[in-house]
Amino acid sequence: MSRQNYLFTSESVSEGHPDKVCDRISDAVVDAYLAAMPEARVACETLATTNRVVIAGEVRGPDSITKDRVVALARNAIRDIGYEQEGFHWERAQVDVYLHAQSAHIAMGVDADGNKDEGAGDQGIMFGYACNETSELMPAPIFYAHKILKTLTDARKSGEARQLGPDAKSQVTVRYENGKPVGVTQIVVSTQHLDETMESADVRALIEPYVLRALPQGWIDAKTIWHVNPTGKFVIGGPDGDAGLTGRKIIVDTYGGAAPHGGGAFSGKDPTKVDRSAAYAARYLAKNVVAAGLASRCTLQLSYAIGVAKPLSIYADLHEGQVEASRLEAVLMDLMDLSPRGIRTHLGLNKPIYERTSAYGHFGRAPEADGGFSWERVDLVDALRSALR
C-alpha cells in the first residue's frame, strides 16, 4: 500500500537558466537540420559561460547548415531568451562551432540496410509516466513549478515585470492527503532582477501575484512558507553567473523525480536517438493508459540495444490499476510499433518541433497543430479500452 499523506517537492528552472540556454541552442540546431532534411542526424552539445558559447557534436545533413548559420541560431536563441547583459550578450558573445560528421560505425548500426530495419542509435532504458493529479496527467509538483516560471517569463517578456531577468529557479513542496495534492507548504523562487537596489522583500512583492496566479486557488495559505531570493541579491545571472551545459536538467525535463528516469538527456538529439524518441513514446503510452481510466498512475519502461530495431523489453507498473500489467504490456506492443522508425512515424517526430521543448518540461504540454508535443495526444484511449475490456 502506497503512502497517502506526505510531502513531495519538485523544482524547475527558467529558459534563462544556464543549462536551459544550452538546451535551447542545441535544439535550435536539431530543428534547423530537420527542417532542411527530415532524416538528418544530429547529436549536438552546447557549453556556455561568460560571453562564450561552444557548440560541438556529430551531424549528418545538408551543407546548407553552415557554421555561420549555427552561430546565427545561437545568437537568435540567446536574444529571444532576453540576454543583453554585460557578461552575456546575444550580439557580443563569442560563438565557436565544432560540429563534425557522424561516426561511420554508429551510422552502420543505426541505418536500415537490405532486410535489416533501422536500429536504435544507442543502448539504454527510457521511462514514461502519467498520473491523474492534474488535467494534463502530470505530477502536481513539477507541473506547478514549471507554471510559476512560465508565468513569470511571460510577464517579463510582455514588459509587465520588466525588473526581472531571464534566469530563475522555482521549487514547490506539495502536501498530499489521501493520495491527492491539496496544497503547498513551501515555495522557493530565485529570480534574477535587473534593479540592483531590490532586496528579497521587493522581489517577493513583485512576483507573488504571478505565483498565486499559477497555482490552484486555496493551495497557498497563511502557513505556506516563502523563500524568495533567499541569498539576497540576484543580479548576475545566466551563463555569466554559472556555466551551462546541454542535458544537465533531465529531472526538470521529465517528472520532477516523481517517476524513474533512464539517465539520457533529450535536447540536442534528433529523433533517431531513443533517449529522446522512446521516452516520448513511453510518456504517450502511459498517458493514454491513465486517460483510458485503466489506472490512476502508470509507469512504463522500454529498453533498447544499439543497432537493434525492436525494444528488448517493455515493463508496465499500474500502481494498483484496473488491469493485469502483463496483459497491458502485450496490448501496447500491438498498438504501437516501438522500433525507432515506428515511433518516429507514429508520432511524426521528423519535424523541426524541438526548440520549444527546451524549457518548462517536455511533458504536460498541449499537442500543437504542426505536430509539436504529439506525444501528449490521447488518441489510443478507445483502442486500449476495447483491447482490455
Buried b / exposed e across 129-145, counting CB within 10 Å, b at 16+? bbbebbebbbbbbbbbb
* CATH ID of 124-132+273-388, from 3.30.470.20, 2.60.120.260, 3.40.1800.10, 3.30.300.10: 3.30.300.10
The confidence score (pLDDT) of residue 179 equals 94
Domain boundaries, the chain: 6-13+140-237, 124-132+273-388
pTM across the whole model = 0.95
Respond yes or no: is residue 351 known to be catalytic: no
Active site residue 269: yes
* Catalytic pick among 243, 325, 383, 387: 243
Which entry of 15, 45, 122, 133 is annotated as an active-site residue? 45
User: In angstroms, rounded to a whole number, what is the distance separating the alpha carbons of residues 39 and 266?
Assistant: 17
What is the structure's pLDDT at 115?
Answer: 46
Q: Is 180 a catalytic residue?
A: no
Q: Is 355 known to be catalytic?
A: no
**Cβ-proximal residues to 347 (8 Å cutoff; 6+ apart), any chain:** 277, 280, 281, 284, 374, 375
Residue 11 a catalytic site member: no
Active site residue 368: no
Which portions of the chain are predicted below pLDDT 70? 1, 103-117
Active site residue 278: no
Q: What is the pLDDT of residue 112?
A: 57
Q: Which of 60, 147, 156, 273 is catalytic?
A: 273
**Pick the catalytic residue: 275, 317, 355, 376?**
275
* Locus of grid cell 544556464: 18
Per-residue pLDDT at 117? 66
Q: Could you say which of 36, 52, 58, 329 is catalytic?
A: 58
Q: How far apart are CA 108 and CA 376, in angstroms?
A: 32
Which distant-in-sequence residues (6+ apart) come within 8 Å of 225 by Cβ? 185, 186, 187
Catalytic residue among 41, 269, 276, 283: 269
Q: Which residue has the cell 502483463?
A: 326
| Cα distance between residue 283 and residue 347, in whole Å | 12
147 carries an active-site annotation = no
Which of 234, 266, 363, 373 is an active site residue? 234
Name the catalytic one among 249, 276, 283, 344: 249
Q: Annotated catalytic, 86?
A: no
User: Is residue 310 annotated as a catalytic residue, yes or no?
Assistant: no
| 39 flagged as catalytic | no
Instruction: Name the residue type at position 277.
Output: S
Q: Tell me whether the CATH fold assigned to 6-13+140-237 matches the one assigned to 124-132+273-388.
A: yes
Give yes or no: 370 in active site: no
Catalytic residue among 169, 283, 346, 362: 169
Q: Which of 136, 242, 329, 337 is catalytic?
A: 242
- In this structure, the strands spanning 6-13 and 164-177 are antiparallel
Identify the pLDDT of residue 120.
Answer: 85
CATH number 3.65.10.10 given to 6-13+140-237: no
Let me know if 248 is a catalytic residue. Answer: yes
Q: Is 45 a catalytic residue?
A: yes
